[in-house]
Amino acid sequence: MVQSHFNEGELVGVLTTQPLGRVLDYKAPEGGAFVGAYVEVPLGPRRIAGVVWGPGAGDYHYAKVRSVLRVLDVAPMRDEMRTFLSRAADYTLTPRDAMLRLATRVSGLGDPPGVRRVYRLGTSEPDRMTDARRAVLEVLRDYGGLSFTLKELADMAGVGTSVVKGMVKLGAVSEEDAPRDTAYPRLDPDHGGKDLTPDQAAGAQVLAQAVASGQYGATLLKGVTGSGKTEVYLEAVAACLRAGRQALVLLPEIALTGEFLDRVEARFGQRPAEWHSGVTQTERRRCWRMVGQGDADLVVGARSALFLPYRDLGLIVVDEEHDTSYKQEDGVLYNARDMAVLRAAGNGAQVVLASATPSLESWANVESGKYRRLELTSRFGVAVMPKMSAIDMRSEDLPGGRWVSPTLRRAMQDRLEKGEQSLVFLNRRGYAPITLCRACGHQIGCDDCDARMVEHRFLKRLMCHQCGATKPMPTVCPHCAAEDRLSAVGPGVERMGEEVQALFPDARVAVLSSDLYGSARAMKAHIADIAAGGTDIIIGTQLVAKGHNFPKLTLVGVIDADLGLQGSDLRAAERTFQLMRQVAGRAGRADIPGEALLQTYQPDHAVIRSIVAGDEEAFWAAEAAERKAAGVPPYGRMAGIVLSSTNVQEVFDLGTAMARQDGPLRRIGAQVFGPAPAPIARIRGRHRVRLLVKAEKSAPLQQALAEWAGQFKLSKDLRMAIDIDPQSFY
Ligand code: ADP
Ligand code: ZN
C-alpha cells in the first residue's frame, strides 16, 4: 500500500519546477499533505512551486530539512497524471521537472479564490465613435461573452485604460466584480446533432461505443476533407459527455479555433474551454483550475492542452493528426500525437486521430492491429475529390523570372470568366528566397546562421527564417560594393502575387501568408472575407492548406510540386504527398467539381505520379516497403542528437568522442552515424553537429541513450538536444 497522506513533520519528496534533477525532501506542513498536493516550498531564499511526489528519501539530517510553506488551494495532482508525466519524461528523455513545468504553465496558481473586476460588452453604443473605442468593442465582440481584466482589454485593443474607463461611463462596456475562475457552462450532448449519412452514422456509433466502454483504445478516422470527420468525432465527444467524462480536441493551428468553437456551440449549445497561446492569462488560469475540478467538459486547444490536470479524461481527438506542428521543436521535444496515446492509455480513454492524409506511423499502427480504422469514403453532399493532373514544366514556354505556366494561366482565366476562385500555392514566405549580387555572385546570408536571408518586400527587409533576424535591403553589395546589382532570385508568395496581378490586371488578388498580418484577428477577418468571395485569386503558403473552407474555390495550381522532394528528410515523400492532397482538397468543396494542377519538372517521379493517380493505398504501401527495408521509423527507431556551441572545435570533439564511446548503444544493437555538420551548420551563432542513432523497433532505446549520453560532461557553452523520432532534420 502506497502512502497517500503525510502528517505534519513527516518527510515528503517534492518535485519542483526547478531544474535540479531530483526530488527534494521537506517536512509536511501543519495539517499534513496528500500525495499529489501542489505546494510552495523554500529553496534558498526563494519560494518555488512543486508537487508532493511521494515519501521523502530521508538521506539528509532531519533537523536541517525545511518545511513545506503551504499547500495550494487547487485539486491535487491525480495518480494517473503523475504516472503520465513520469512516462512522458522517460519517453522523451526529459527531466521530470521540465515536464512539471509544462503541466503548470499558469500564473497565480495558488492565489486564493476571490473576486476581481471584469469588463464585458455593455448595453449601449457610445454616442461618439472613435478608433480607440471601436477597437475595444471589436475585441469584446470577437471573444463572445468572455470577460477581461482592465489591463487585458486595454492591451488587446491597443488602447489606454482610460479609454475603457470612459466607455464604462457611457454604458458601452460593463464593469462588475466577478468571482474568479468560474465553472464553464455544461455542454448538452443532445442540443443540436445533424442527421448523419449512413457512412457517418456507422462511424459515429463505433466511436460512441468505444467511448462508452471506458477502456483505452485508438482509432484512425480517415476521410477526405469535407467528408464529415468533424461531425463524426463530435458524436464521440457527445458520448463522452453522456458518460460524464471530459474530452479534449487538439487542433494544429490557432487560426482554426474560432471556426471550430462556433461548430461546438452549434452542436452542444455552449462554448467549451480554450487553451492555447492566444488565450489571456486570466482565462488560462480559469481553464487549468476548472479542468482540474471537473468544471470544464470539453477543452479545445493546442498540443500543450495534453498537460492539463483533467479530473476524468475520457476522449482525446487529434485533428489533422499528420500535421507537423504537433511536434514541439524546442524545449521539451515531444510529439503530441504520441503523448495523446500515452495519456489515453493511462486513463482508460479513447484516442481519435483524424486526417485526410494520415501519417505513415498511424497507417502502420492500423496495419499491426494497434489502431482501429474508420473510413469516410465520400464527401458530404455531391462534391468529389478534385481532378488532379501534372503540368510538365519542361515543355511549357516560360520566360526566366516567371512561374505561372501558360497551361495554368489558361485554367485561371477560365475560372475568372466563370466567377470562380483559384488558389495559387507556393510554400515559401516572402518575396524571394535568394538575393544575389549580379557583379560578384555573392548571396546575402544571415550574420549568425548558415542560411540565406529572404527578401520580404512587404516589410521592406531581409529576414532570416532560422533566427528571425532582419536587416534593411542594402543598395550596394556587402561583398564587392557594386551598386544596384543586387537582384531577387526565385519566387516567394509576395512575388507570385505580383506576377499574377500582372497577368490578370482586373482580378482581385490576395496573398495569404502568416507573416503579412499584424494580429491573428486581422488574419481571421481576411480569411473570412476571402471565403465570402471577396477575392478572385488567392496566393497562399501552407497556411491555406489547413482546414479553411473557401466555397467558391474550384482550381488549385501548385507552382512547384517538386519543392518538398528536395533534401534528405526521411519523410520528404510522405510530406509532399500529404501537402499536395491537402492543398488540392481545398478545391471544389461545394457543388462544383474542382481541379488541381501540379507544376513539376519531374512528372515521372514516383511520388508525383502517385499524387496525380490519387492511389493512396499504393503510395503508402510503397513508402512503407521502403522504410521497412531501411529499418527507419515507423519500422525502426531513431534518435537525433544535436550538439551545439559557439566553439566549432568543441562540438566536433564531443561528437567524435560520443561516436567512439558507443558501448551502451552497441549493447542494444543500435548504430551511431556521424558526427556531421547539421544541415544548417550554424544558427544564432552556434555551430551545430548531428549524430543519428538507429535501432530496431523493439530495442530499449531510451535507456541506452540515457546511459550513453550520461558518460559525457558538457562544458558550460555546450548544449546537447536529444530528439526521439525526429520529424525534421535541420
Ligand atoms: P471534415 O472534418 O472531414 O473536413 P466536416 O465535418 O467539416 O468534414 O464537414 C464538411 C462540411 O459538411 C461541414 O460544413 C459540415 O457541417 C457539413 N456536413 C458534414 N456532414 C453533414 C451532415 N451529415 N449533415 C449536414 N452537414 C454536414
Ligand atoms: Zn539567422
Pocket of ligand 1 from Cβ distances under 6 Å: 194-197, 200, 223, 225-231, 380
Q: So what's the pLDDT on residue 564?
A: 82
Give the whole-number percent of the chain exceeding pLDDT 90.
59
How remote is the CA of residue 685 from the centroid of ligand 2, in Å?
A: 8
Atom of ligand 1 nearest to the CA of 381: 12
Whole-number Cα distances in Å, 204 to 198, 343, 383, 713: 10, 22, 21, 54
Q: So what's the pLDDT on residue 707?
A: 95
By alpha-carbon position, which residue is closest to atom 5 of ligand 1? 228
Ligand nearest to the CA of 684: 2
How remote is the CA of residue 450 from the centroid of ligand 2, in Å?
A: 7
Best residue among 220, 221, 230 to mutate for probing ligand 1, ranked by most atoms within 8 Å of CB: 230
d(C-alpha 650, C-alpha 668), whole Å = 28
Atom of ligand 1 nearest to the CA of 356: 3
Q: So what's the pLDDT on residue 205?
A: 97
Ligand nearest to the CA of 230: 1
**Mean local confidence (pLDDT), 638-660:** 94
Between 345 and 224, residue with greater pLDDT: 345
Between 569 and 647, residue with greater pLDDT: 647
Q: So what's the pLDDT on residue 380?
A: 63
How remote is the CA of residue 714 from the centroid of ligand 2, in Å?
A: 25
Q: Assess contact for 458 and 494: CB atoms under 8 A.
A: yes
Q: So what's the pLDDT on residue 577?
A: 87
Q: So what's the pLDDT on residue 579?
A: 85
Ligand nearest to the CA of 531: 1
Structure confidence by residue, pLDDT tens digits, 498-516:
999 999 999 999 998 877 7
Q: Per the structure block, which three cell numbers stand in for 507?
A: 482580378
Best residue among 353, 380, 384 to mutate for probing ligand 1, ranked by most atoms within 8 Å of CB: 380
Residue 539 has pLDDT above 60, yes or no: yes
- Residues sharing a CB contact under 8 Å with residue 219, sequence separation 6 or more, in sequence order: 206, 207, 210, 350, 351, 352, 353, 371, 372, 373, 374
d(C-alpha 133, C-alpha 122), whole Å = 12
By alpha-carbon position, which residue is closest to atom 11 of ligand 1? 226
List the one residue out of 579, 572, 624 whose CA is nearest residue 598: 579
Q: So what's the pLDDT on residue 346?
A: 92
How remote is the CA of residue 683 from the centroid of ligand 2, in Å?
A: 6
Atom of ligand 1 nearest to the CA of 194: 24
Atom of ligand 1 nearest to the CA of 547: 4
Best residue among 231, 352, 589 to mutate for probing ligand 1, ranked by most atoms within 8 Å of CB: 231
Whole-number Cα distances in Å, 526 to 153, 536, 712: 22, 13, 52
Q: So what's the pLDDT on residue 1?
A: 54
By alpha-carbon position, which residue is closest to atom 6 of ligand 1? 228
Q: Assess contact for 565 and 605: CB atoms under 8 A.
A: yes
**Mean local confidence (pLDDT), 201-209:** 96
By alpha-carbon position, which residue is closest to atom 20 of ligand 1? 228
d(C-alpha 450, C-alpha 200), whole Å = 50
How remote is the CA of residue 470 from the centroid of ligand 2, in Å?
A: 8
**Mean local confidence (pLDDT), 191-206:** 92
Q: Per the structure block, which three cell numbers stand in for 557?
A: 495550381
Whole-number Cα distances in Å, 648 to 139, 361, 730: 49, 36, 17
Atom of ligand 1 nearest to the CA of 319: 2
Q: So what's the pLDDT on residue 302?
A: 92
How remote is the CA of residue 646 from the centroid of ligand 2, in Å?
A: 14
How remote is the CA of residue 467 from the centroid of ligand 2, in Å?
A: 4
In this structure, the strands spanning 537-540 and 509-512 are parallel
How remote is the CA of residue 316 from the centroid of ligand 1, in Å?
A: 20
Ligand nearest to the CA of 356: 1
Which DSSP string corresponds to 460-527?
Answer: TEEEETTT--EEEPPSB-TTT--BS-EEEES--HHHHHHHHHHHSTTS-EEEE-GGG-SSHHHHHHHH
The pTM score is: 0.86
Q: Assess contact for 354 and 318: CB atoms under 8 A.
A: yes
Give the lowest-confidence range in 110-119, 477-486, 575-584, 691-700: 110-119
How remote is the CA of residue 644 from the centroid of ligand 2, in Å?
A: 15
Between 475 and 411, residue with greater pLDDT: 411
Atom of ligand 1 nearest to the CA of 195: 23
Q: So what's the pLDDT on residue 235?
A: 97
Q: Assess contact for 638 and 694: CB atoms under 8 A.
A: yes
How remote is the CA of residue 549 from the centroid of ligand 1, in Å?
A: 11
